[in-house]
Amino acid sequence: MTGALRRLWQLVAGWLVTAALGLSLCALIILSFGLLSEVVGRAFLRAWGRSMLWIAGVEVVVEGWEHVAERAPRIVTFNHASTLDNFIVNALLPPGGTPVARRSALWVPIMGLVLALGPILLVDRRGGARARATLDKAARRIRDEALSVVIAPEGTRRGADKPSRFKLGAFELARVTGAPIVPLVILGADQLMPYGRLTATPGRVVVRFLPPIPSDDLTSENLRARADALRERYRQEMRR
């Protein structure tokens, strides 16, 4: 398959799969009055992520899965430099895995419906009382439902070979809930699908779950220092 045909295949097949799975998921959730949102929702998100990786011709090698194999409250952070990251983290959702998305993404066609109805935590990045309320709601769900919340502390994709300055939302969640932080390091995704590209080059990505980092000693005063320390840990892993 030529490069042009491969790119066209990725775009057309990707949107068709997204539409088919997304609309089917929403229909099931609505018909079940929301009862199937959690179980079916995660299955659909995993299926979507794996389908998109298959369409892109990307193989994922996973290391350290034992750190997330059992369901438990945890904050899973990942470095975000490529659209492939979205497919990867959904394909590898651990038990109780719950992605975090911006509330503004509700306006994206099809995916907005999935975000509104599926097992996804929506956050408001504008600050203020509304952002505080969404944070408190997320914290309650993490504790009560033993969720593994998957979040990019950079906030959005960055076109760089090292993570940009981390935002504090993930660390605030860890402080409030007492849930450990499990760093998820994605290596090679930005080379196969650089920032700004709509399609990927087939290849291999290594995904590494690092040992959990306790959050018992997190305070409002040391959040920034701990965020900077974790960013440095990511830089070391990416240099490896």
Q: Which domains does the chain have, with CATH numbers?
A: 3-239 (3.40.1130.10)
pLDDT (0 to 100) of residue 1: 63
Long-range contacts of range 121-127, CB-CB < 8 Å, 24 or more positions apart?
Answer: 121/149, 123/169, 125/155, 125/169
Taking the CA atoms of 44, 47, 51 and 53 in sequence, report the sign of the dihedral they define: positive
Residues ≥6 apart with Cβ < 8 Å to 63: 206, 207, 208, 209
pLDDT tens-place values along the chain, 240 residues long: 677 888 999 999 999 999 898 888 888 888 887 777 888 889 999 999 999 999 999 999 999 999 999 999 999 999 998 999 999 999 999 999 988 877 766 667 766 677 777 777 777 666 556 667 777 888 888 999 999 999 999 876 665 566 788 999 899 999 999 999 999 999 999 999 998 889 999 999 999 999 999 999 999 999 999 999 999 999 999 887
Q: How many residues does the chain have?
A: 240
Q: Do 114 and 120 form a contact (C-beta atoms < 8 A)?
A: yes
Q: Is 34 exposed, middle or buried (0-12, 13-18, 19+ CB in 10 A)?
A: exposed
Provide the pLDDT for residue 196: 83
- Name, in order, each residue with C-beta under 8 angstroms of 132's C-beta and a sequence gap of 6 or more: none
pLDDT recorded at residue 128: 58
